[in-house]
C-alpha cells in the first residue's frame, strides 16, 4: 500500500510538471499582470495577429494592465515595458548590445551577444566609427543625390503628384548602399536588385516571423531564404574585395575590415546596418517632408534658420551642426512617426521593475510606440507641432532606442539637405540622412504639437504622401 502511495504521488508530480511545461497557461508570469496564452503551442500569437500588428497589440495590452505587462510568445514568457519610468529602471546605459540590433540578429539567426563584453564593445565602436568616417567621405555624394532628386521634383508641373515614400525609399537605397558597400551601387540595376531582396527580407522580419506564417508557407520561406542568400553573397564579395586594399572612398565596411573581426562578424554587422539604415532613413525622410507640409510656420522658421546659417555659401557638415531648430523638427518627427515602435532585449540575469521580478532569459520588449503616445509624458501625443515652444526633455532611456541606426551623438553632425527653391516664397524641402548606433543623452525632443496632424506609423509600411 505504501509503495502504491509513493508511486501515485510520484506520478501526480510528474503529471503536474508535464502540464506546467506543455500548457503555458498554467505557468506563472512572475506575478506580472497580463494575459494567459490563447493556444497551447502559439501562446498569444493569435491575439497579436487579430490586433493587426504587435504595436497595436501592445497598445491595447498596456491600456488594460498598465506600464508593465506580460504575454506569451509561443511557450516563451514576454514582458513589455510601456512608460519612460519603467524603461529607466530596466535599461543599462553601459550595456554594449543595442536592443534593436539584438532583435534583428536574432530574427536573422545570427549570433546575438555571443562574444564577451570587450568584444561587443569593440564591435560597437567599429560600427560607430564606420558611420562617422563613411559620412565624412561621402558627404559630397549625399549632396549630389539630394540635388538630383530636387531637380527631378522641380521638373514636374506644380499640380503633379509626387510619390514621396517611393522617392524617399529610392533616395535612401542609393545613399545607404553606396556608403555601406561602395561604388558597385552606382549602377542603378544593382540598387534595384538590392532593393527587391531587401524588401523581401524586411517584410518577413516585420510580419512572417512574428505571426508564424513564414514557416507555414514554403513558397514565401524559400523566397525569403533566397533573398537573404543573395544579400549575403553581395556583402561577402565586397568584403573580399576591400580586404588588404586602399580606396579613395571610405565606406562602412572598410571600418569593419580594418578591425579585428572575422568575415562572419563583418557580414552580420554590415547586414544589420544595411537592412535597418535603408528602411529607417527612408521613413524618416518621408515623415519629415510629410509633417513639414502640414505647417507653414515650421517651414518659415526652418527657411529663416537655413538662410542665417548658410547664407549664399555651400552646405558643409560644420555648418549643419548649427541648425538647432532643425534638430527639434527632426526629433519631433522621430517621436510622432514612431520609426521603430518595438525593440527587444533578453533578460540575461534576474531583474526587478517596480515590484515585479523578471526571470532570467525572459524576452523584454521596449514598447516605444506606446511610450511615445503616453499622455503622461506628452501633452498631445498624436499630434505634431514645433512652433509652440513647449519642450519636454526626453532622457537617454527613450531616445537611445527610438532610431538606433540614426545618431545625434554630436548633435546633428551630418544632414543631407536640399536648399529651397529659387523662389524664396516656395516651401523649404528638407532631407535627413544620418546613420548611427545611438542617440545623445543630451537630446531634447519637442512635445509641442497641434490637432491638424495625426500620422501614425504602427507597422513596417510606408505612408502615402504627396508633395509639389
Judge whether 28 lies within some domain.
Answer: yes
What is the span of the domain harbouring residue 69? Answer: 1-114+340-371
Judge whether 438 lies within some domain.
Answer: no
Rg (CA), the chain: 24
Judge whether 347 lies within some domain.
Answer: yes
3-state secondary structure of 465: coil
How far is residue 362's CA from residue 64's CA, in Å, rounded to a whole number? Answer: 21
Judge whether 300 lies within some domain.
Answer: no
Provide the 8-state DSSP code for 340. Answer: S
- Looking at residues 232-257, what average pLDDT do you find? 91
How far is residue 46's CA from residue 176's CA, in Å, rounded to a whole number? Answer: 36
pLDDT digits (tens, 9 = 90+) for 393-428: 333 333 334 444 333 332 223 232 222 222 222 222
What's the pLDDT score for residue 228?
A: 93
- Looking at residues 91-112, what average pLDDT do you find? 63
Provide the 8-state DSSP code for 208. Answer: I
What is the pLDDT confidence band of residue 69, given thresholds at 50, 70 and 90?
very high
What is the tally of structural domains in the chain? Answer: 1
Judge whether 349 lies within some domain.
Answer: yes
How far is residue 304's CA from residue 288's CA, in Å, rounded to a whole number? Answer: 18
Residues whose CB is less than 8 angstroms from the CB of residue 453 and which lie 6 or more positions away in sequence, other chains included: 291, 294, 295, 336, 383, 384, 385
What's the pLDDT score for residue 95?
A: 57
pLDDT digits (tens, 9 = 90+) for 265-278: 899 889 988 888 88
Name the residue with higher pLDDT: 129 or 102.
Answer: 129
What's the pLDDT score for residue 235?
A: 94
pLDDT at 70 exceeding the cut of 60: yes
- Looking at residues 68-92, what average pLDDT do you find? 86
pLDDT at 463 exceeding the cut of 50: no
What is the pLDDT confidence band of residue 2, given thresholds at 50, 70 and 90?
very low
Judge whether 181 lies within some domain.
Answer: no
Cα separations in angstroms, 384 against 57, 176, 292, 337, 381: 24, 28, 10, 9, 8
Structural contact between residues 99 and 66, judged by C-beta atoms closer than 8 angstroms: no
What is the pLDDT confidence band of residue 113, given thresholds at 50, 70 and 90?
low
3-state secondary structure of 188: helix
Judge whether 367 lies within some domain.
Answer: yes
Judge whether 191 lies within some domain.
Answer: no
| Nearest Cα to Cα of residue 176 among 79, 105, 99, 274 | 274
What's the pLDDT score for residue 402?
A: 41
What's the pLDDT score for residue 99?
A: 56
Positions of E strands within 212-270: none
pLDDT at 233 exceeding the cut of 90: yes
Neighbours of 125 (CB within 10 A): 14
Residues forming a β-bridge with 445: 392
- Looking at residues 296-314, what average pLDDT do you find? 82
pLDDT at 101 exceeding the cut of 70: no
Grid coordinates representing 179?
A: 556608403
Amino acid at each position: 500500500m505504501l509503495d502504491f502511495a509513493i508511486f501515485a504521488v510520484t506520478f501526480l508530480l510528474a503529471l503536474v510538471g508535464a502540464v506546467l511545461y506543455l500548457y503555458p497557461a498554467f505557468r506563472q508570469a512572475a506575478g506580472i499582470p497580463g494575459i494567459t496564452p490563447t493556444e497551447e503551442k502559439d501562446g498569444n500569437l493569435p491575439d497579436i495577429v487579430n490586433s493587426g500588428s504587435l504595436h497595436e497589440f501592445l497598445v491595447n495590452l498596456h491600456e488594460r494592465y498598465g506600464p508593465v505587462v506580460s504575454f506569451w510568445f509561443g511557450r516563451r514568457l514576454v514582458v513589455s515595458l510601456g512608460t519612460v519610468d519603467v524603461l529607466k529602471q530596466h535599461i543599462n546605459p553601459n550595456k554594449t548590445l543595442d536592443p534593436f540590433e539584438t532583435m534583428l540578429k536574432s530574427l536573422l539567426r545570427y549570433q546575438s551577444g555571443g562574444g564577451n563584453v570587450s568584444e561587443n564593445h569593440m564591435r560597437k565602436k567599429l560600427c560607430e566609427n564606420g558611420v562617422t568616417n563613411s559620412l565624412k567621405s561621402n558627404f559630397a555624394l549625399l549632396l549630389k543625390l539630394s540635388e538630383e532628386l530636387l531637380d527631378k521634383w522641380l521638373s514636374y508641373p506644380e499640380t503633379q503628384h509626387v510619390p514621396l515614400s517611393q522617392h524617399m525609399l529610392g533616395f535612401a537605397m542609393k545613399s545607404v548602399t553606396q556608403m555601406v558597400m561602395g561604388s558597385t551601387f552606382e549602377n542603378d540595376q544593382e540598387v534595384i536588385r538590392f532593393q527587391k531582396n531587401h524588401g523581401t527580407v524586411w517584410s518577413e522580419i516585420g510580419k512572417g516571423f512574428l505571426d508564424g506564417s513564414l514557416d507555414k508557407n514554403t513558397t514565401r520561406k524559400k523566397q525569403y531564404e533566397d533573398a537573404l542568400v543573395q544579400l549575403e553573397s553581395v556583402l561577402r564579395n565586397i568584403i573580399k574585395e576591400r580586404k588588404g586594399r586602399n580606396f579613395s572612398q571610405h565606406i562602412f565596411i572598410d571600418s569593419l575590415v580594418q578591425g579585428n573581426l572575422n568575415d562572419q562578424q563583418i557580414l552580420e554587422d554590415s547586414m544589420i546596418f544595411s537592412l535597418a539604415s535603408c528602411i529607417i532613413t527612408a521613413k524618416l525622410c518621408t515623415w519629415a517632408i510629410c509633417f513639414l507640409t502640414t505647417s507653414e510656420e515650421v517651414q518659415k522658421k526652418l527657411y529663416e534658420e537655413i538662410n542665417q546659417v548658410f547664407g549664399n555659401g555651400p552646405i558643409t557638415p560644420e555648418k549643419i551642426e548649427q541648425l538647432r531648430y532643425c534638430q527639434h523638427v527632426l526629433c519631433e518627427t522621430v517621436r510622432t512617426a514612431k520609426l521603430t515602435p518595438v525593440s527587444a532585449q533578453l533578460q540575461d540575469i534576474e531583474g526587478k521593475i517596480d515590484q515585479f521580478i523578471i526571470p532570467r532569459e525572459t524576452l523584454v520588449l521596449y514598447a516605444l510606440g506606446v511610450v511615445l503616445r503616453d499622455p503622461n509624458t506628452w501633452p498631445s501625443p498624436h499630434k505634431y507641432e514645433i512652433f509652440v515652444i513647449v519642450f519636454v526633455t526626453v532622457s537617454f532611456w527613450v531616445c537611445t532606442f527610438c532610431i538606433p541606426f540614426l545618431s545625434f551623438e554630436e548633435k546633428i553632425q551630418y544632414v543631407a539637405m536640399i536648399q529651397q527653391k529659387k523662389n524664396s516664397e516656395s516651401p523649404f524641402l528638407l532631407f535627413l540622412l544620418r546613420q548611427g548606433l545611438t542617440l545623445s543623452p543630451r537630446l531634447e525632443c519637442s512635445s509641442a504639437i497641434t490637432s491638424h496632424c495625426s500620422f501614425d506609423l504602427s507597422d513596417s509600411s510606408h505612408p502615402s504622401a504627396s508633395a509639389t
